[in-house]
Structure formats: C-alpha cells, structure tokens
Amino acid sequence: MAVWFDRSGFNLSWRVGIAAVIMAASFAVLLLRLWYLQVLQGEHFRERSENNRLREVYIPPPRGLILDRHGRILVKNRPAFNVEFVKEDSPDPKQSVTVLAEVLGVAPEELLAKLDEPQKKRKRFEPKLLLKDVSRDVLARVAARRHALPGVMIGVVPTREYVYGGFAAHLLGYLGEITAAQLESPTFSGYRRGDMVGQFGLERSQEFFLQGQRGIRGIFVDASGNRVGEAYYVPDRPGHNITLTLDFDVQRAVDEALAGKKGAIVALDPRNGEVLGMASYPGFDPNLFATGISHELWQDLTGSPDKPLTNRAVQGLYHPGSVFKFIMATAALSEGITNKHEKFFCSGSFRVDRSRPFACHKRHGAVNLKDALKFSCNVFFYSVGQRLGIDRIHDYSTRFGLGRPTGLQLGPEPRGLVPSTAWKKAHFKNKADQKWYPGETPSVSIGQGALDVTPLQVARALAALVNGGVLYRPRLIKGIKAQQGAFKDEAFAEEEQGRLMVEPWVLDAVREGLLAVVNEKGGTGSRAKLPEELGVMVAGKTGTAQMRAMRGTKTLAKQYALAWFAGYAPAQQPEIVVVAVVEGVGAGGAEAAPLVAQVMEAYFRMHGQNDLSNTDNAPPLEAQTHG
C-alpha cells in the first residue's frame, strides 16, 4: 500500500508540474502577444481605431466670384453632388461598387476602373471619387438603396458656373483637375489630388486670389460609417472676388458681332487702357470643364483646325495689313521725310530698282498723306517706306508697342515681330545672306512681310495715337475684394508703358486722315459709320492682309485673307477703341468695319457719349468739319 501511494504521489506531482509549465508558457505567449500589439503595433492599431470612429472631411472652399465693371456676376458657384466610396467601410468593395452600378444603370467596369485607379498619398478611410456632379435622380436612387451600398456616400462640393455660357470664355477661362506636374510645383503647395484649379484665362492667372482655403470637419462615425457626432471644425475661407474692367453690354456686342466667324475683336478705353470687351471665335463653353471634361470632347476641342481654345485676340499673330499705315504715317511726318501736302503719284504699282513690281489695289493718281490714308494707297507708303528705311520703321513700331507683349493679366503672350537689320542678322546668322535689302521694305511698309502683331497690340497702338501719345498697359482687372482673412482690398490704376515722343501736330495730322477714311467720299471705311441719331463720328483704318503667300485663284486668295478695321470714337475725344480682324473673308472695309460699328453702336446706345465740350485734345477744325 505504501508503495502505491508513493507512486501516485509521484505521478500527481509530475502532472502538476507539467500543467504549471504549460500555463506559464501560455501566459508568456499571451504577454508577448500583448506586448506586440500594444508596444510594437500599438501606434498602427491606435490609428486604425481612431480612423474607424473619427473621420476628417475636407470642405472645398467656394472660389471667388468674377464680376463685370458694374457688379454683374459673370462667374459664380453652385452646389454639386458627387458619389464617393470609402473602401474600408465595405466588407466587399467590388461587390458594393457592382451593386451601385446596377442601381445607377451604368456599366460596372466603368466604376470598377475608377475604384482601381491609383491614388497616391491616400489616407485610410479617405473617400474615392466615383461620379462627379450627379443629377437629383441619381442622388435619390443612391439614398433609397443606402442600406445595400456599404462604403458609398454623397459629397457636396461647390462647382464653378459660368452664368452666360460661352460669354467672354477666352478671358474668363476654365477649371481643370490639378495635374501631376502642378502637384509637384511649389506654386500649388497645399493642393491635393482631385482639386479643380484654373487652367486657362483669368481662372489660371488669378488662381492665387480666386482659390480659397479648404476647411476641415472631424466627425465621429459608427461601424457602418454613419455619422454620430462632430469632434472639431475648421471653417473654409472663400476665394476673393474679382471685378473686371469688362463692360457686359460691350462684351455681349463683341460676342454677337463675331458669332459664326473666325477672328477676334478687342475694345479698349484709350484713356486708361481698360479692356471693355474682347472675344475670340470660334469659342467654347467653359461650363464643359467645370466638373471634368471627357477625353473625347477634349480631343475634339484640341484637335479642331478652328482652334477654339486659342485666344486669337491675345495669342493670334497676324500681318496687320493697311492698319499699319497709321504708324507709317506717324513715322514719316515725325522724321520729316514728307509732309501733309507732298503728293506721290500712284500708277497702280511700285518698283525698287529692277525688282518685281509691288501692287496697289487701284490707280489713285497724285495723293498726299490724308488721301493715302483715306484711299489706303499702297504706292504712297511704299515710297515713304523707302525713305524711312527698315530701322526707322522698327523704331516707331516699337514705340507704338509692337514687337513686345502687352502685359495683359492673362498670362504669357507672344511678342510678335517687327523686322530690322539687326533682327535679320540674328535670325539668319547661319546663312550667308544676312543683309536687309531695299526690296524687302515695301512689304513691311504696308503691314505685310516679316511683320506679325496681335489684335490687342494694334488696339494698344491705336489708343496711344488717339489719347495724345501715352502707351497704356491693357488692363482687365479693376479690383480684388477680400472675403475673409488678412488680405487687403486692391484696386488697379492705369499703368504707363511708354510714350510715343511725337509732336501733337503729327498726331493731329494722322487723325485727320483716319477721320477721312470713314467720313469722306471714297474712304475705305465708310461702313464703320454710326447712325446719325447717335451724333457720334467714327475714325479708323481699314486693312486687308494675307495669312500666308497665296498662289492660285481669287477664291483661294479670299479664303486666306485677313480683314481688319481699327477704329475709335467719338473722333473728337475718343473714349473707345475697337479693333476687329476676321479670317478667310474679303476686304477690311466690307467685312471688319461693320463689326466695329456694331460694337460701337451698342456702347453709345447703352452709355451715351461723354461731355464733348472740352476740345483740348480735339483734332484741328479742318479734320472735324469733313464728312
């Protein structure tokens, strides 16, 4: 018996020992697991826990409004509803998205592709955008099936609305989703993938002022992603409002005048450089870009031979044709190589030594400077061009602002080109023939050859001629008004870019000729006249140029012709300058002059003319009594 108890006692002790070891090992494993979870992985699981119950919702700020000079809203914001998806809130993301596609009646592949798109720097529980700016019908369908769509949510964001569609589209511009290159740029510090930013026009150049500051809302959610409370709130700050120099009535007239054509119109106040209206056609509707444009439509816009996204008024480079003659006339009188009374005989053509003949559109006979402007006689300006020489033509052209950007607040713009002997040496430096020959000057003298300008440059130049010789920077922004924050309201005043340094009598003599263009018998710009009841006299210069050297029939030549008219009114004390260029049509007097008259008529019918009793800057009496 004693032996049996000893053996049993031994067996019992052995079993207790083994059990103790097993329990100790279990506790050790448990402690190690707790140490792993709470120490090594504690931060990770703490973040998951916080994200599972606390979400940060970014609040897109409304962009600043854009208004015309009288306070009429041209661009504003409207609420848009987006369908978004949080992967972490769905046990089966692909199934949720497939069900959503069935609810909306769209192909599942379309939404699944967006779900699988890479999203750099994405935080856990951050929504993924599936559909932008959905209709109320779509919104109702999603809300009705919310229980079957775990992870699906509706976000409300402010979206750009261009109130009048394509009105002033090339000035106002459009938005687009921020690009990868922009995200890497310091200029866009603080922006996030998916943000809509200005990509063209004022929306782009004034992005810093128009784009507000996003807000953040911290909310508590339950296991299903439903909101149950709010932790904190940082309000958004709207962008600043921008008031333009643009006049709604003038801009509407500019748009209507160009409708169905290809070209550009610019209307300026010559007294300060303010842009009253500007259009380029064909155009586009910036609302197409507000929530993201389709690839197909983008290809249509960028691949169109009509180039609807090009702002011809600012970016289009053209030969100015005979509108350049008011600069030639100013240079000729200022340099003393002719006077108001000297006459040149126009036989219909002109030769330099034994070169090919340079043509005039008509045989004018003996003409002085006034007649040469009125009839747009090429031979007269061929002759004075030879006397001036290309370098003096270059000098006066640059005084009028040609060959350099205008500085309009729309971003980069081309310089244009005014040739000179130095330019030819630099341009043809690798060629043996670098000399400027006299036979090259006649073409430039009538606004052709190696001479390229933009319509805005021509408008700035004409404004300087009629305002007494001041070259103003064209100005599109009148003021910026702060909405919130420390920004101080800013108003923009006129800015001089130079002076013509020309005697007043020279300007008067040239203006006398421009008045005759419209108001005297035989003048090429008679179709720019305004109705008599307005009591406003228009002056200006017609121009017809070629877009490129032409060969073939007259029909082909017309197809590639440029029709110009650059005018101002009232002729006595100008308060508006309007320049129009139309591609692929006939002569400037027939095609472009009526467009300028249409814009001016709208201006004076809406606003009337200022008090004309002050005649300090008026042309001589002789110029005022013609027509």
What is the rounded CA–CA span in Å between residue 627 and residue 623? 9
Q: Give yes or no: residues 336 and 194 share one domain.
A: no
Kindly report the number of other CB atoms within 10 A of residue 399's CB atom.
21
Q: 272 and 494 in contact (C-beta within 8 Å)?
A: yes
- Structural domain containing residue 91: 55-244
Crossing angle of helices 108-116 and 93-104, in 10° steps, is: 140
Which amino acid, 112?
L
Kindly report the number of other CB atoms within 10 A of residue 291's CB atom.
18
pLDDT tens-place string over residues 231-276: 778 888 889 999 999 999 999 999 999 999 999 999 999 999 999 9
Q: 615 and 573 in contact (C-beta within 8 Å)?
A: yes
Q: For position 224, what pLDDT does the model report?
A: 56
Burial class (CB in 10 A: 0-12, 13-18, 19+), 248: buried
Q: Give yes or no: residues 330 and 296 share one domain.
A: yes
Q: Which of 199, 171, 205 is nearest to 278 (CA)?
A: 171
Q: Give yes or no: residues 262 and 196 share one domain.
A: no
What is the rounded CA–CA span in Å between residue 474 and residue 464? 11
What is the rounded CA–CA span in Å between residue 320 and residue 175? 33
What is the rounded CA–CA span in Å between residue 583 and residue 592? 10
Q: Is the dihedral of CA 329, 333, 338, 339 positive or negative?
A: positive
Q: For position 7, what pLDDT does the model report?
A: 53
Q: Give yes or no: residues 164 and 113 share one domain.
A: yes
- The answer to whether residue 486 is domain-embedded is yes
Q: Give yes or no: residues 174 and 255 share one domain.
A: no
Q: Of the candidates 193, 213, 244, which is a domain's last residue?
A: 244
Q: For position 61, what pLDDT does the model report?
A: 87
Q: Give yes or no: residues 369 and 321 share one domain.
A: yes
Residue identified by tokens 């008259």 is 597
- The answer to whether residue 589 is domain-embedded is yes
pLDDT tens-place string over residues 281-327: 999 999 998 877 778 888 888 888 989 999 999 999 999 999 999 99
Reduced to 3 states (helix: H, G, I; strand: E, B; else coil), residue 546 is strand
- The answer to whether residue 28 is domain-embedded is no
Reduced to 3 states (helix: H, G, I; strand: E, B; else coil), residue 114 is helix
What is the rounded CA–CA span in Å between residue 595 and residue 566? 10
Question: Distance of CA 505 to CAs 500, 510, 514, 619, 621, Å?
Answer: 13, 9, 14, 9, 13
Q: For position 48, what pLDDT does the model report?
A: 52
H or E element, residue 231 = strand 227-234
Q: 526 and 501 in contact (C-beta within 8 Å)?
A: no
Q: Give yes or no: residues 234 and 285 share one domain.
A: no
What is the rounded CA–CA span in Å between residue 296 and residue 287? 16
Q: Give yes or no: residues 354 and 233 share one domain.
A: no
Q: 496 and 471 in contact (C-beta within 8 Å)?
A: yes
Q: Give yes or no: residues 295 and 353 share one domain.
A: yes
Question: Distance of CA 421 to CAs 386, 389, 391, 401, 529, Å?
Answer: 14, 10, 7, 19, 40
- The answer to whether residue 22 is domain-embedded is no
Q: Of the candidates 220, 244, 268, which is a domain's last residue?
A: 244
Q: 34 and 40 in contact (C-beta within 8 Å)?
A: no
Q: Give yes or no: residues 487 and 595 share one domain.
A: yes
Phi, psi of 96 (to 5 degrees): -60, -45
Q: For position 295, what pLDDT does the model report?
A: 81
Q: Total domain count for the chain? A: 2
H or E element, residue 158 = strand 152-162
Burial class (CB in 10 A: 0-12, 13-18, 19+), 497: middle
User: Tell me, what DSSP letter sits at residue 321?
Assistant: G
Instruction: State the alpha helices, DSSP H only, in 400-440.
Output: 421-427
Q: 224 and 203 in contact (C-beta within 8 Å)?
A: no
Give the percent of the chain with pLDDT over 70: 85
Kindly report the number of other CB atoms within 10 A of residue 180's CB atom.
8
E strand map for 60-107: 66-67, 73-85
CATH number, domain with residue 601: 3.40.710.10
**CB-based contacts of 181: which residues, under 8 Å, 6+ apart?**
none
Q: Give yes or no: residues 416 and 435 share one domain.
A: yes
Which amino acid, 63?
R
Q: For position 611, what pLDDT does the model report?
A: 37
Kindly report the number of other CB atoms within 10 A of residue 301's CB atom.
17
What is the rounded CA–CA span in Å between residue 108 and residue 104? 10
Q: For position 153, what pLDDT does the model report?
A: 73
Six-digit token pair at 468?
Answer: 């007494």
- The answer to whether residue 335 is domain-embedded is yes
Q: For position 236, what pLDDT does the model report?
A: 82
Q: For position 614, what pLDDT does the model report?
A: 37
Phi, psi of 455 (to 5 degrees): -55, -35
- The answer to whether residue 40 is domain-embedded is no
Q: Is the dihedral of CA 79, 80, 86, 90 positive or negative?
A: positive
Residue ranges for the chain with pLDDT beneath 50: 1-5, 549-558, 609-627
CATH number, domain with residue 200: 3.90.1310.10
**CB-based contacts of 289: which residues, under 8 Å, 6+ apart?**
174, 175, 176, 199
Q: Of the candidates 244, 259, 287, which is a domain's last residue?
A: 244
Q: Which of 471, 458, 213 is nearest to 326 (CA)?
A: 458
Q: 59 and 237 in contact (C-beta within 8 Å)?
A: no
- The answer to whether residue 6 is domain-embedded is no
How many C-alpha atoms does 102 have within 13 Å on its Cβ side? 9
Q: Give yes or no: residues 501 and 535 share one domain.
A: yes
Q: Which of 354, 445, 435, 456 is nearest to 396 (CA)?
A: 445
Kindly report the number of other CB atoms within 10 A of residue 93's CB atom.
19
- The answer to whether residue 95 is domain-embedded is yes
